[in-house]
A and B are shown apart, each in its own frame.
Chain A
């Protein structure tokens, strides 16, 4: 067991973890943060996307043991902080989530795109989201929701 001490959603967390424990299992099983999902556990589907030290990453490809001193933000944290409440409202309005299993990862990825504060085209939004699989929606509503949010943010002074 390896001792780690890190910040998760702004809270200090101290634990001992097995070397093989990946970040998603750590969050879900050790911390009860079940908003991050494991869809493949081999780095392809993006359901496990979360933020580590300010950048989005695949939680299934990170060992918890490597995160001593890290700053982790999950869908629970980003929801509570209100950082993307407009994006989340747009997801509701556009029905951009059906089963919702991909949705937390999708929101985390879209949050990074929003934070870049550029003016991407629909094609560029599609490219940006391409690491996140959604099996239900066909993606168009998700692209709509992100585009709506970008537009309303840039309309604000």
Chain B
């Protein structure tokens, strides 16, 4: 489309594209990151700013009444102390349910509870002081008497008679349950050649964004506006939340995202301590900062994936899948988290099990219950790693029962590449997937014969290696069917405004946001491509509710697919507008002109006619010389929402090659592969890095990461020395390949790419470990696959 000079984008002549889409353009955001010149929320300091610290519940479940704040207020530097009752005067509680999740219930949640503490780490009292250190001194001087109550910690007994009911007004601890059923599951199992079953556990884990949750709220009583600097993925949503809970107008609330140090779904939820900060700023008319420390992050960032799943799979003699029968149970903490709710993860398990395969009979139930533990909610790849582990774990068991190669079993059952559109048994509609092409591509990358030979040879030496596969689907580009239809004010559409400034610079402001994925980089590429300018002439603005079009932000893999399409359409519209103006100036029909590398050219010959600099000069400073009725606004806005399909599904397959030491139970990751199909790839390097980062988070959940509680509901893993995240030495080299099946819902054709790695990695690793352990007749299905669990499976320890 556009001629590009190599120097403008740092590419060699050989790399020269005629388009920026599909090119590995380096991210313009990175130089500031490597030089320590980024600005995260905690780097912002405002005049008269105060700092908040919270007293957090030392009990999993307790009542409290009298809070004596006198000693705390006497601490030097302490300014004020706020209790739940203080904040409730100006801040309304919220209830996190969605109407389309039938029968869902949850209790009202206040920024600080009034008299009932429901998890260890829940914020109870806030102290505001001139420094964080003084505020913590104030917290230490608070006198509060807790009356500890019995805690409900085991999800298996949450609905049993006589159990502790966390919120008596709800009647029981059941939040939500749903069963999807299609076909005749009982008959399919009765007629099956083989039936395999297993009990799976996914470990409760959390996001560990390296930058903790951070917020500064600043209320200006003179103009009655609240400005919030917030490390969040969804500034417009938070604008609405602050306005609603604090009884303000959305126009009086501005949310600004500075650089955000990782999110992964952790920073898309409403946290009571953050709402408390906004409420305190509102009351005091002064800025208040709160940055969670790591201990607070572990006890108060959302957790995820606390599931126990029983699964059965029926196959016929040919190895065809006849039926899946799944029962999922999940504990979500004491409150469903606002506004996305904590029932979506279980609901996703129901929607996604068996997803890659062509079969008819399906039953899956999820039961979502309360517990006195940190609330859980959506974390990267929501429900997918669970559904994939169950599905792919059962597929490997079936392969073993049939005496069939696991790859062959998958090949026989994966939905054919020409079978689309296709509707899955739980009702998911697939526009176009590429399971077989992806499998074939993966097998080109994985030297399977060499690996099998190596495996056999190693076993002779008492070395146990295994390879595991996991096909998966992933839900991206969500429509209002995800949240909006349930009544949540969460935008599925997104907008972009693109303008040309006098010197030909292009500025685009977008409702999607950047937390390191490269959102701004791909938007710049798309806008440069759409308008016809060098990418370094494009500036992107995101993360400010006052200056960007209304949008949902970045979550559920929608940045490229939704935000990117809005950017492309607005850029194309601006190009049309520029060509109209140029046509009038050059006395040429606009259709005969083009824009290439920032110059108006003659479309047929490619000859330059006029620079954008010159066009800008005339439009902005000599408008008198243009025809009177000429439209000359060099700014265009377009919004985009998907309309045909509720979600754009992607697909892929991963393979993991591991070595298990039967003496120690340690798992060594040797190599990892992933082929994924996220539709049109805008920037291959960034997609590969999303996939790699996602895989490593999946590896974390599979092998290391676990929020461990004692029987009383105390979190035992509250430092990075106790809660293990993947480090560089243990990580394998990861090979990434692509198949591109663009969505036809948009010009751009992009789907999401950020969660595929996390969706498939745990299942691939589980299957690899079990492949390695096969000669030893041991098997593990409970994540994380710690040395202890592997030794137990081997019978080495009891």
Please report A residues at the B interface, Cβ cutoff 8 Å.
18, 20, 28, 34-37, 39-42, 44-45, 47, 74-76, 79, 88, 91-104, 107, 122-123, 125-127, 129-143
**A40 touching B692 by the CB < 8 A rule?**
no
Residue of B33, B689, B693 most packed against chain A (CB within 10 A): B33
Which chain A residue lies CB-closest to B698?
Answer: A138
**B733 touching A99 by the CB < 8 A rule?**
no
**B259 touching A140 by the CB < 8 A rule?**
no
Kindly list chain A residues whose C-beta atoms are within 8 Å of the C-beta of B211: 37, 39, 99, 101
A126 to B36, CA, bound (A): 22
A42 to B298, CA, bound (A): 14
**B729 touching A127 by the CB < 8 A rule?**
yes
**How does the 8 Å CB contact mask read for B124-139 relative to A, with 1 for contact and 0 for none?**
0000000001000000
A41-B293, A47-B210 known; A138 vs B729 contact (CB < 8 Å): no
Residue of A97, A129, A131 most packed against chain B (CB within 10 A): A97
A88 to B31, CA, bound (A): 7
* Set A88, A94, A99, A138: member contacting B210, Cβ < 8 A: A99
**A44 touching B720 by the CB < 8 A rule?**
yes
Q: Answer whether residue B8 sits at the interface, using C-beta atoms and an 8 A cutoff.
A: no
**B516 touching A98 by the CB < 8 A rule?**
yes
* Set B36, B694, B727: member contacting A104, Cβ < 8 A: B36
Total interface residues on B, CB under 8 Å, equals 56
Which chain A residue lies CB-closest to B261?
Answer: A101
CB distance from A154 to the nearest CB of B (A): 21
A97 to B29, CA, bound (A): 9
Stretch with Cβ within 8 A of A (4 or more), from B38-46, B145-153, B420-428: B38-46
CB distance from A4 to the nearest CB of B (A): 18
Q: Given known contacts A95-B689, A123-B729, A135-B693, what 16 new A-B pairs fall within 8 Å (CB)?
A: A20-B133, A34-B42, A36-B36, A37-B40, A42-B720, A91-B30, A92-B30, A99-B515, A100-B30, A130-B728, A131-B727, A133-B210, A135-B210, A138-B692, A138-B693, A139-B731
**B728 touching A126 by the CB < 8 A rule?**
yes
* Set B35, B38, B42, B686: member contacting A79, Cβ < 8 A: B35
A94 to B10, CA, bound (A): 13
Kindly list chain B residues whose C-beta atoms are within 8 Å of the C-beta of A101: 40, 209-211, 261-262
* Set B32, B263, B733: member contacting A140, Cβ < 8 A: B733
Kindly list chain B residues whose C-beta atoms are within 8 Å of the C-beta of A138: 689, 692-696, 726, 731, 734, 757
A35 to B39, CA, bound (A): 9
**B516 touching A140 by the CB < 8 A rule?**
no
Residue of A47, A93, A100 most packed against chain B (CB within 10 A): A100
Tell me what chain B mostly uses at the interface: helix, strand, loop, or mixed.
Answer: loop
**B516 touching A92 by the CB < 8 A rule?**
no
* Set B133, B261, B686, B734: member contacting A100, Cβ < 8 A: B261
A20 to B134, CA, bound (A): 12
* Set B26, B693, B721, B734: member contacting A92, Cβ < 8 A: B26
Which chain A residue lies CB-closest to B260?
Answer: A99
* Set B26, B29, B696, B721: member contacting A139, Cβ < 8 A: B696
Which chain A residue lies CB-closest to B757?
Answer: A138
Q: Answer whether residue B542 sits at the interface, using C-beta atoms and an 8 A cutoff.
A: no
CB distance from B688 to the nearest CB of A (A): 8
* Set A34, A92, A98, A123: member contacting B518, Cβ < 8 A: A98
**A129 touching B719 by the CB < 8 A rule?**
no
Residue of B35, B208, B695, B721 most packed against chain A (CB within 10 A): B35
**A98 touching B517 by the CB < 8 A rule?**
yes
Kindly list chain B residues whose C-beta atoms are within 8 Å of the C-beta of A75: 35-36
A76 to B26, CA, bound (A): 22
CB distance from B619 to the nearest CB of A (A): 35
Kindly list chain A residues whose C-beta atoms are within 8 Å of the C-beta of B85: none
A62 to B726, CA, bound (A): 25
**How does the 8 Å CB contact mask read for B397-427 relative to A, with 1 for contact and 0 for none?**
0000000000000000000000000000000
A95 to B692, CA, bound (A): 12
Which chain B residue lies CB-closest to A34?
Answer: B43
Which chain B residue lies CB-closest to A125?
Answer: B728
A102 to B728, CA, bound (A): 13
Residue of B36, B260, B516, B517 most packed against chain A (CB within 10 A): B36
Which chain B residue lies CB-closest to A124?
Answer: B729
Tell me what chain A mostly uses at the interface: helix, strand, loop, or mixed.
Answer: loop
**What 10 A-B pairs come out closest when comparing CB atoms?**
A35-B36, A100-B33, A99-B516, A101-B261, A75-B36, A98-B516, A138-B696, A138-B692, A44-B720, A139-B728
Q: Could you name 25 residue pairs across A and B whose Cβ atoms are closer than 8 Å?
A: A28-B43, A36-B36, A39-B210, A40-B294, A42-B720, A74-B36, A95-B686, A96-B30, A97-B33, A98-B517, A100-B34, A101-B40, A102-B210, A103-B34, A123-B729, A127-B728, A127-B729, A129-B729, A131-B727, A133-B727, A134-B210, A135-B209, A135-B697, A137-B696, A139-B726
**B728 touching A91 by the CB < 8 A rule?**
no
**How does the 8 Å CB contact mask read for B24-67 relative to A, with 1 for contact and 0 for none?**
00110111111111111011000000000000000000000000
Q: Which of chain B's residues 125-180 have a Cβ closer than 8 Å to chain A? A: 133
Kindly list chain A residues whose C-beta atoms are within 8 Å of the C-beta of B212: 39
A20 to B133, CA, bound (A): 9
A156 to B731, CA, bound (A): 31
A35-B36, A134-B210, A138-B695 known; A97 vs B731 contact (CB < 8 Å): no
Q: Answer whether residue B725 sits at the interface, using C-beta atoms and an 8 A cutoff.
A: yes
CB distance from A138 to the nearest CB of B (A): 4
Q: Answer whether residue B264 sits at the interface, using C-beta atoms and an 8 A cutoff.
A: yes
Q: Answer whether residue B685 sits at the interface, using C-beta atoms and an 8 A cutoff.
A: yes
**A92 touching B725 by the CB < 8 A rule?**
no
A100 to B210, CA, bound (A): 9
A28 to B515, CA, bound (A): 22
Kindly list chain B residues whose C-beta atoms are within 8 Å of the C-beta of A28: 42-43
Which chain B residue lies CB-closest to A32?
Answer: B45
**How does the 8 Å CB contact mask read for B679-703 relative to A, with 1 for contact and 0 for none?**
0000001100100111111000000
Residue of B686, B697, B728, B731 most packed against chain A (CB within 10 A): B728
**A99 touching B259 by the CB < 8 A rule?**
yes
**B210 touching A143 by the CB < 8 A rule?**
no
Kindly list chain B residues whose C-beta atoms are within 8 Å of the C-beta of A122: 733
* Set A74, A76, A130, A135: member contacting B262, Cβ < 8 A: A135
A45 to B695, CA, bound (A): 20
A86 to B27, CA, bound (A): 17
A93 to B210, CA, bound (A): 23
Residue of A75, A107, A122, A137 most packed against chain B (CB within 10 A): A137
Which chain A residue lies CB-closest to B690?
Answer: A98
A79 to B32, CA, bound (A): 10
**B719 touching A40 by the CB < 8 A rule?**
yes
Which chain A residue lies CB-closest to B692?
Answer: A138
A95-B686, A137-B689, A141-B689 known; A129 vs B728 contact (CB < 8 Å): yes
CB distance from A153 to the nearest CB of B (A): 17
CB distance from B408 to the nearest CB of A (A): 30
**B31 touching A100 by the CB < 8 A rule?**
no
**B30 touching A140 by the CB < 8 A rule?**
no
Which chain B residue lies CB-closest to A132?
Answer: B728
A101 to B262, CA, bound (A): 8
* Set B34, B36, B733: member contacting A91, Cβ < 8 A: B34
